[in-house]
Structure 1
Amino acid sequence: MTDASAPAASPDTPRHALHASVRRVAIVVNPLSGGVGPQAAAEAEAILSLYDCEATVTTLEGPGIPDQIATALAASPDVLFVLAGDGTARSVAAQAGMKGPLIAPLPGGTMNMLPKALYGTADWKAALRRALDEGEPMVVAGGVVEGEAFYCAAILGSPALWAPAREAMRTGKLKLAWMYGRRALKRAFTGRLRYSLDGGDKRRAEALVLISPLISKAMVKCDGLEAAAMNPSDAAQAFRLAAHALFDDWRHDPNVTTRPARWIGVAARSKIPAVIDGEPMLLGREAAVTFQPRAFRALAPRPPAGEDSL
């Protein structure tokens, strides 16, 4: 385990002031995450040494990672940066909650949905500098599905199986994309979801996408999740909708209907495939999703007026 304070800047190098009123900065780095690498901790130290703050960099290692993260949170820094996978970033934000330090999840995973929503980039060094130079405390809303927190979106239903294939194709992992694609085709249309929004009538859909106010293009107020029911008529439409979901304005598609909701109940005849903020997982045959209007506090630039986060 490496746990070291960032080296002091050269006396001839001016140290930049942080935009937010924070002094104690901590960053946890998992070098084994897909978008990180073995030199990331040293590179983060070099960047932090240019700023007028007390900085600590911790390299996450092996089975002790949960304890290392708990120690970093317990130290109560003003802001905790997380350079690791998508699941780790979600977990740290959930553990911090509203009472913990500011959280800044950097893009170190595969899909990086939360970092991209907050910082508009998949480059972790650029995201780190943006947070330091422009970041302000920001309350982030989200949702919880069967104990799993999400802050961007949850895709429930068979089209969720296409998301890993699409991401593998985007990153050039053709063999992995083929494996995910075969699994998606095998699972597609084996059963529709039954869902209810805020205790209303039960309806059916091929998939349900629940989108947080952080990235929703339809939500004006932070008063719920945007619930989008997807009803493609065939596999080709399902692939198209899943490929564009969350990255394009697919909500104008006639096969998609949306409305806000604070509580969502979902059921199916078999276990429900899902993608939670970019992380594939399998839920039970029934699941409940609840809206969290104040989930955690992030350090992120304020979006320009009228501009979407993604």
Structure 2
Amino acid sequence: MTETPAAPARGLTPHFPLKRIEIVINPRSGSVGAKAALEAEALMQGYACDFRIAELDPERMGPTLDDAFSAEPDLIVVLAGDGTARTVAARAGPDGPAIAPLPGGTMNMLPRALYGTTDWRQALESALTEGVEHTVAGGEINGEAFYVAAILGSPALWAPAREAVRTGKLRLAWLYGRRAMRRAFSHRARFQLENDPFRRGEALVLLSPMISKALDRPVGLEAALLDPAGAREVFHLAATAAFSDWRHDPSVKTRTITRARAMARRPIPAIIDGETMHLGSELQVKFVPRAFRALAPKPEAAADSV
């Protein structure tokens, strides 16, 4: 861990007080790299604030985060994977320090939603110079927080295959894909939205107000129960939901919800903000209107940088 004093230079955002910043970096995550801490230190030297950088060791993540939070900073910057960003945001909650989750993981769903870029240096500079406080709404599934999107059901089975393709492990990707095809549609789950009767389906997709095209206020989660005829269609619809405007597909009908349930005979696969999980065979979903505070440019500024 290195401690670095403030150095007068470029101006910080006038919209949020930034006197003390904690930066936690996992150099082994995604595309972060071994030199990220040095790059972050060089970048931070250009701003008039106190900051401290700590490299995360997965085996000592708890103590490192304890140290960062105990410093009572104005902002905690996270350059790590999707799971670590979720962990820090959930720990901060609505009353803790603001969080700047930079793109350092595989899918980078939360960083992309906030900053509109997959370059962590650009995201950090935009947060420091243009950042305003955002109260981020999200949801919880059996206590696991999500802030962008969650997919419950068979489409989540394809996440390992997609990751294997990304890393060039084509035979492993083929094996994962074959397993996903075999399990898809073999044990559909039952889903309940609000107090409606349970319905069988292949997947429940949930979008937070941060990326939903249908919600202009944090009043719930945008939800769709998908039950298409074939495997290819369900995977296409789920991917469309998370990364573009699924309302262009006439077969998808969405609604706003504040709670839902899912039940199946076997553990239900899930992708929560880019992280694959198995949370059990009975899932409870709830909307969280005030999940944590983020420091990011105004939405139109983030969109311009995509």
Q: TM-score, normalised by structure 2?
A: 0.93
Structure 1 equivalent of residue 27 of structure 2:
31
Structure 2 equivalent of residue 273 of structure 1:
269
Once the two structures are overlaid, the 10-residue window that deviates more, 200-209 or 36-45, is 200-209
Distance 1:133 1:155 in 2: 34
Q: How many residues in Structure 1 have an aligned counterpart in Structure 2?
A: 304
Work out whether residues 214 and 309 of structure 1, in 8 Å CA contact, stay in contact via their aligned partners in 2: no
Work out whether residues 93 and 291 of structure 2, in 8 Å CA contact, stay in contact via their aligned partners in 1: yes
After superposition, the C-alpha distances for 1:173-227 in whole angstroms (9 at most, x for unaligned) are 5344334322311211112221112222222221000110011111122100011
Structure 1 equivalent of residue 3 of structure 2:
5
Distance 2:210 2:58 in 1: 32
Secondary structure (helix, strand or coil) at the match of 2:78 reads strand
Secondary structure (helix, strand or coil) at the match of 2:242 reads coil
Work out whether residues 134 and 295 of structure 2, in 8 Å CA contact, stay in contact via their aligned partners in 1: yes
Indicate whether 1:183 and 2:179 are aligned: yes
Candidates 280, 283, 287, aligned match of 1:287 = 283
Distance 1:130 1:60 in 2: 23
Work out whether residues 205 and 238 of structure 2, in 8 Å CA contact, stay in contact via their aligned partners in 1: no
Q: Which amino acid aligns with 1:17?
A: G
Work out whether residues 6 and 46 of structure 1, in 8 Å CA contact, stay in contact via their aligned partners in 2: no
Q: Which amino acid aligns with 1:268?
A: A
Alpha-carbon deviation of 1:8? 6.0
Distance 1:84 1:27, change over 3 A: same
Q: Which amino acid aligns with 2:282?
A: E
Distance 1:222 1:197 in 2: 18
Candidates 13, 17, 23, aligned match of 2:11 = 17
Secondary structure (helix, strand or coil) at the match of 1:257 reads coil
Q: Which amino acid aligns with 2:3?
A: S
Distance 1:23 1:181, change over 3 A: same
Distance 2:250 2:189 in 1: 19
Secondary structure (helix, strand or coil) at the match of 1:141 reads strand
Once the two structures are overlaid, the 10-residue window that deviates more, 109-118 or 241-250, is 241-250
The alignment yields a C-alpha RMSD, in angstroms, of: 2.1
Indicate whether 1:50 and 2:46 are aligned: yes
| 5+ residue gaps, structure 1 | none
Structure 2 equivalent of residue 154 of structure 1:
150
Structure 1 equivalent of residue 106 of structure 2:
110
Distance 2:252 2:279 in 1: 23
After superposition, the C-alpha distances for 1:140-198 in whole angstroms (9 at most, x for unaligned) are 00001011100001100011222443354456553443343223112111122211122
Distance 1:242 1:164, change over 3 A: farther
Work out whether residues 203 and 227 of structure 2, in 8 Å CA contact, stay in contact via their aligned partners in 1: yes
Once the two structures are overlaid, the 10-residue window that deviates more, 79-88 or 66-75, is 66-75
Indicate whether 1:139 and 2:135 are aligned: yes
Work out whether residues 267 and 281 of structure 2, in 8 Å CA contact, stay in contact via their aligned partners in 1: yes
Alpha-carbon deviation of 1:235? 1.5
Indicate whether 1:75 and 2:71 are aligned: yes
Distance 1:180 1:47 in 2: 40
Indicate whether 1:242 and 2:253 are aligned: no
Q: Percent identity?
A: 58
Once the two structures are overlaid, the 10-residue window that deviates more, 145-154 or 235-244, is 235-244
Distance 1:77 1:258, change over 3 A: same
After superposition, the C-alpha distances for 1:70-114 in whole angstroms (9 at most, x for unaligned) are 210121100000011110100000000012100010111111100
Distance 1:252 1:238 in 2: 15
Distance 1:264 1:140, change over 3 A: same
Work out whether residues 16 and 50 of structure 1, in 8 Å CA contact, stay in contact via their aligned partners in 2: yes
Distance 2:124 2:4 in 1: 14
Q: TM-score, normalised by structure 1?
A: 0.92
Secondary structure (helix, strand or coil) at the match of 2:60 reads helix
Once the two structures are overlaid, the 10-residue window that deviates more, 195-204 or 208-217, is 195-204
Q: Which amino acid aligns with 2:124?
A: L
Work out whether residues 111 and 167 of structure 1, in 8 Å CA contact, stay in contact via their aligned partners in 2: no
Q: Which amino acid aligns with 1:5?
A: E
Distance 1:149 1:54, change over 3 A: same
